[in-house]
Each structure stands twice: as C-alpha cells, then as structure tokens.
Amino acid sequence: MKRSIIYITFVLFAALLPLCAQDGTFTASVDQNKVAAGSQVQVTFTVSGGEVNGVKNFKAPNFTPFVVTSGPSQSTNMQWINGQMSGSVSYTYMLYARQAGKFTIEPATIEYKGNTLKTDPLSVEVTQGKPQQSQKKQEEAGAASVGDNLFIKASADKQRVRLGEQLTVTFRLYTRLSVAAYDLTKAPTFERFWSEDFDMPKQPAASNETVNGKQYRVLTMKKTALFATQAGQLKIAPLEVTCSVQMQSKRRSNDPFDSFFNDPFFQQVQTVNMNFKSNPLTITVDPIPANAPSGFSGAIGHFTFSASADKKRVKAGDAITLKLAVSGTGNIKLVTMPKPQLPADIESYEPKIAEDVQRDGGSIHGTKTAEYLLIPRNQGVRAVEPMLFCYYDLERREYVSLRSPRFEFTIEQGKDFSSAGPASHTDKEDVRVLGEDIRYIKLSLGSLQHAGDTEFHLWFLIGLLLPPIGFIGSWVYRKRMEKIYGNMPKLLFETAGREVNKRLKKARVLLQQGNPQSYNEEVLKAISEYLEHKLNTPKAHFSLDRALVQLQEHNVTAGVREKLKFCMERAEFARYAPGADTAEARKELIDAAAEAIQGIESTFRKRSKEEKRS
C-alpha cells in the first residue's frame, strides 16, 4: 500500500512538473552569506528552462573586492519528463574574500530565446577572523569523500645535492575521478633557491600510473629546476591547487523503491570545487669545499670561458669592444663575470650584460656575455692581461680555473686638428677653394662712402659663446656619466621608478592585445626587478617576505605593502592559472601595482629630502 501511494505521487509530480516550471528563469546563489576574511565563497548562476541549449552571451558581474580563484565552471543538467525536455545550465565561480565588510555581488545577465535575463543581487558579509567551523567541516567531509582517489604529489629527482647543483622538482596530479578543471591557487615558495620553470604545454597529456595497486591518470602540472644558494636542510613549500571535481549525488534510503532511482541513469552530476596541497619536500644541501681559489665567485656546474676583441690595431680615440662569454650547464644567471685589468690611459664603461638561458633537455644551460667598450687615449702598445674565471665542477668535484688570452693593442696617433700646420691645407681641393677666393687688383679707388660705426650683432655674440658653452656642457656631462656609471647600485636605485613604469606600459599593451599570460609575467617581473634595484638586493637572495620587511624598515606604509603583496601573489597565481583570471581582475592588478609603486617612490623621495635637510 505504501509503495503504491509513493508511485502514484511520483507519477503525478512528474506529470505536473513541466506545467509548473517557469520557462526561462535565471537565478544566483552563494553557498554561504557570511564568511571570514581569507575564506572562499562559491557563487552559482543557474538558468533553467525547456531549451537551455539556446542560452548565450553569459556576462558575469564585477566581483570586486573579491578575487576570482577559479571559474567559470560550467555544468549542464538535462531531463526528459512525459516527452518534454527541461534542463539547466550552471556557471560556478570560487571567490576569495580578502577583506572584511558587507559587499554586494551585482546581477549577471544571459540571453535566452531572444530575451535578456538578469539575476538578483547577492549580499555577502565578510567578517574578521578565522573561517567558520562549519566551512572547515564541509571541506573535511568533501576531502573524506574523495579519499585517495585524487591527490597532488611533489617529487624531486635528487634528495641530496651539492650547493649550486641542479635538482628538478615535479608536481603531478593523480586522479581516479573526473576533473573538469584545476587552478593553481598558490605557487610553491623556493626560499634559498634560485628557480627556473620549465615550459609546460597548455593542455598537458595524461599518462597512467599504478600506485598501491590502483590505476591513476597522471597530469604533470609544474616542473621547476632549483639551485640551492645555501647549504643545510632546505624545505620546499607545498603547491596549493583548486580542482573542480565532478561527483555523482546519490539518494540514500532503506526503501527498495528508491534503489530504482539510484541507477546511474538517474544520478545527477555535481561539480564540487575542492582544495588540495602537495606534500612538502626536504632537500639536504651539502657545501662545496672551502679551499676555493681567489677568483671563485660562486659559479657551480660545468662551464667554458672565452674572450675576444674586435680590433687589435686602432687609432687613439677609437673604440674597442672586448667581449667575455661564459657558457655551460649550471647556475648561469648567478655567474659573476670577471673584470679586465686595464691600463690607466684606456677608458672603459660599465659592461653590457646579456643572458641566454635555455631549459630544454631537462637541464638549465645557456650563455652569459659581458661586452666592455674600451677607448684608448694615447698612442703606443697597450696590453690587457689574462682574466681568470673560476668555477666548481660538479662532475670532477674540484675547482677549475679558466684563463683568457693576453690582448695586445697597437694604438696609433689619432686625428689632432689643433696641431695641424700649413701643410694640412695643401691638398688639391683646398687649392681649388682658395683659387676661387682670388680677386683682381683694383688700380683705382672708385666711389667711396662712409659706412658708419661697426654694429655688434647678436648672432655674432652667440657664435662666439657657443663653442665654450658646448665644451663646458660636454665636460660636465662626461663627468656626470663617469660618476653615475661608477656607482651602479645608485644608478639602478635612481632609475628603478622609470624602468618599472616602462614595463607596466608594456604590460598594458600586452593586456590590450589579449595576451594574459605574458601580461601577468611582465607585471611580476616588473615588480620583482623594481624591488631588487630599489632595495639593492641580488636576484639570488630576493624574496617577497624579505622585501616587505625592508620596505617596513624604510617607513613604507602598511597599506602600500599589503597592496604590493597582493599584486605579486595575484600575478604569480594568474601566471600559472590564466583561465581563472578575468579582464576586470587584470585591470585591477596593474592599477594596484602602479599605485603601490607610486606609494613606494613617494616614501623614498620624502626620506631623501629629509636626509638632505639634516
């Protein structure tokens, strides 16, 4: 009797459902209206109707001040009831709540059967403090349901290396579930390592691997070459990933009648966003031998060293290009090029450094060059003694010293117009020109008239003053250039603001061209190089946490520091997860970066003025 009543009720419900359903509804919902700062909010926009295949032009709202960490993740649900089709299409976003307050998520729009549908606005309250306990329980419950069917594994090809020796860390996704998409929410930090990322395909190919008797599909998410800059036990932080996992929702009942509807044909697929972390790694880094020769500056690997000059015989005042090149496998970016010892009467300027780093074949190799511009001032024979480049060879386990050849330059007398005598005007062209100046001798005075007093024209005075003014100006400019290029850290400090503005302009051009990956890389590189030059920090020792501490010591406000931290973390995240980025978020990123740089520049200018006054 009970089963018959349930069956009749179900048939009536199935018959009346198409009549009761409103054709073409568009709704918005959040998984929770009150969250803590630092938590994530799931926002879902759902359009329902009879022909959902015709929906188009979905436009999401501006999620500011939230940060989109993933989405939109699209899912479609279709049903046939009494010969009539009904269904729904959902667009799901994961938002990161970064600050406290009461915020409104504006409506989204979509076109359905020629009409534009619009959702109602949503209100979300973000509170200070830790995430709510209920949200933690939901995440724990989701992770428990997944179990060991999906996990992120970090592995290193070596667990023990020498200082400066390359090790490769690979982050892989192991899954037995259907993963619609994944986004890197937080890239791993490599403290006390110099890192170089290998290029990864936009759509990595999956392979199969058996772990503990279970078959998994494996995707390589990130592969990085690391070079330790400090000995000891170094830790590699985990990689954090948000995966959109497609799971089937099942009914649970002891009634045998319900088991009919638990058939996979009637099960609904639900996309759930879950956070995963890779395992941390600990690498043992052994120091290199302490008996380093005097020419050793930190190069470790296997290298060759060469030097060449474009000219051996020049005139005084002409330029000579001396080119030094270090090639090989190892920490090529951390190599310090040797400096030539020049005679006193040969001028030189700061070298032009160029790097060509290649990442193919599973190893980091390339070439680093330094070009010196030499200008001899006096005639004679001048020599540049051999230069020494020393590195630690990891294969031979010893220090290797490479020496360049000795360069001898023959300097001839250059042009010196001040010492030119009458003989300098005896060429044929000069004779012809002088011949044109010869006039016939007049035997009579002719008509004469009084010319008056000689006028002192302004242009004549300017013509007299221009040569000494030009000489003084060129002399002052030359002395200033010598002073600036003699103190390279000061030059980089003073020009850091202009250089970062150039890079941000280039990033805006990339953004307009629709190249989000290169855009995010350019923003990240612009901010990093700006902080390196402004804080006088070598690239190998640069880290965001250390930069924030240094900015605090320079009295940079907390708001500027937080904005700068947000920009770097957001750019790093978007660099590895371009699909989770939106046009509004990209524009917000570059505007926030420009404001943070401007705040730092104003703080340093104010401090400089105070130091001059004191």
At residue 253, the pLDDT reads 44
Rounded Cα distance, 532 and 535, in Å: 5
Domain contains 214:
yes
The CATH code of the domain that includes 505 is 1.20.120
More confident residue, 373 or 608: 373
List all residues 6 or more positions away from 333 whose beta carbon is below 8 Å from its beta carbon: 194, 196, 355, 357, 368, 539
pLDDT at 299 over 50: yes
pLDDT at 414 over 80: no
- Please check whether residues 155 and 280 belong to one and the same domain: yes
* Paired residues of 85 in beta bridges: 80
Q: pTM value?
A: 0.45
Q: How far is CA 29 from CA 61, 74, 96, 230, in A?
A: 13, 15, 16, 50
Domain contains 427:
no
pLDDT at 98 over 70: yes
At residue 415, the pLDDT reads 59
Q: State the DSSP code for 455.
A: P
More confident residue, 415 or 553: 553
The CATH code of the domain that includes 356 is 2.60.40.740
At residue 138, the pLDDT reads 47
pLDDT at 361 over 80: no
Domain count along the chain: 4
Cβ 179 vs Cβ 246: under 8 Å: yes
Kindly report the three-state secondary structure assignment for every residue of 342-407.
Answer: CCCCEEECCCEEEEEEECHHHCCEEEEEEEEEEEECCCEEEEECCCEEEEEECCCCEEEEEECCCE
Confidence of residue 258 (pLDDT cuts 50, 70, 90): very low
Domain that holds residue 196: 144-252+265-286
Q: Which residue has the tokens 């606005």?
A: 121
- Please check whether residues 275 and 151 belong to one and the same domain: yes
Q: What is the mean pLDDT of residues 555-575?
A: 82
At residue 445, the pLDDT reads 59
List all residues 6 or more positions away from 423 whose beta carbon is below 8 Å from its beta carbon: none
Q: Among 170-179, 236-245, 565-574, 575-584, whose mean pLDDT is lowest? A: 575-584
More confident residue, 459 or 213: 213
At residue 38, the pLDDT reads 75
Domain contains 330:
yes
- Please check whether residues 61 and 150 belong to one and the same domain: no
Rg (C-alpha) for the chain, rounded Å, is 36
Question: HSE (CB half, 13 Å, CA atoms) of 17?
Answer: 18
- Please check whether residues 502 and 604 belong to one and the same domain: yes
What is the average pLDDT score of the chain? Answer: 77
Of 390, 412, 434, which one is at a domain's C-terminal end? 412
Q: How far is CA 385 from CA 64, 217, 314, 316, 357, in A?
A: 62, 60, 18, 20, 29
Of 412, 437, 465, which one is at a domain's C-terminal end? 412
- Please check whether residues 589 and 552 belong to one and the same domain: yes
Domain contains 5:
no
pLDDT tens sequence across 142-158: 555 677 788 999 999 98
At residue 321, the pLDDT reads 92
More confident residue, 416 or 590: 590
Question: Three-class SS of residue 562?
Answer: helix
- Please check whether residues 565 and 515 belong to one and the same domain: yes
- Please check whether residues 53 and 120 belong to one and the same domain: yes
Domain contains 134:
no
Q: How far apart are the first and last CA of the chain?
A: 97
Confidence of residue 455 (pLDDT cuts 50, 70, 90): low
The CATH code of the domain that includes 60 is 2.60.40.10
- Please check whether residues 153 and 277 belong to one and the same domain: yes
- Please check whether residues 106 and 154 belong to one and the same domain: no
Domain contains 418:
no
Domain contains 133:
no
Domain contains 43:
yes
More confident residue, 600 or 55: 600
The CATH code of the domain that includes 269 is 2.60.40
The two beta strands, 207-211 and 240-249, are unpaired
- Please check whether residues 242 and 176 belong to one and the same domain: yes
